[in-house]
Structure 1
Amino acid sequence: MPIEIKELHIKINVNEGSKPSPSPSAPKSKSEDPVAECVEQVMKIMERKKER
C-alpha cells in the first residue's frame, strides 16, 4: 500500500552574522557539483523506495 505525503514542513535556521559562502557559480572542481550530487542522491532514494 503506497503512502501519500500531502504536506511537507521544512525548518531552517539563518545566521545573519555569519560570513557569506563562496560564489555558487564557481565550484571548486567539476566533480563537486552540488546540484548533480543532490539529483544523484534523490534518484538513489527513489530506487530504494521502489524496491520495497
Structure 2
Amino acid sequence: MPIEIKELHIRVTVSGKPPEAHGATGSAAKQAAAAGAAVGKDELLAECVEQVFELLQARKER
C-alpha cells in the first residue's frame, strides 16, 4: 500500500560566516560578501513569499 505525504515541514538553522571571495582581500572581500549576501537574501525572500502564496492557494482550493 503506497504512502502519500501531504505536508512536509523542514526547519533549518544556519550559523557561521560566509566564505570569503577568492582573490579579494580585506575590505574588498567584505564588500563582495555583503553584496552577494544582499542579493542572496532578496532571492531567498522572493522564493519564500512565492511558496507561501502557493500554499495559501492550495489551502483555499481544498
Question: Normalization by structure 1: what TM-score?
Answer: 0.49
Greater relative CO (CA pairs within 8 A, separation 6+): 2
Bigger Cα Rg: 2
Bigger share in helix: 2
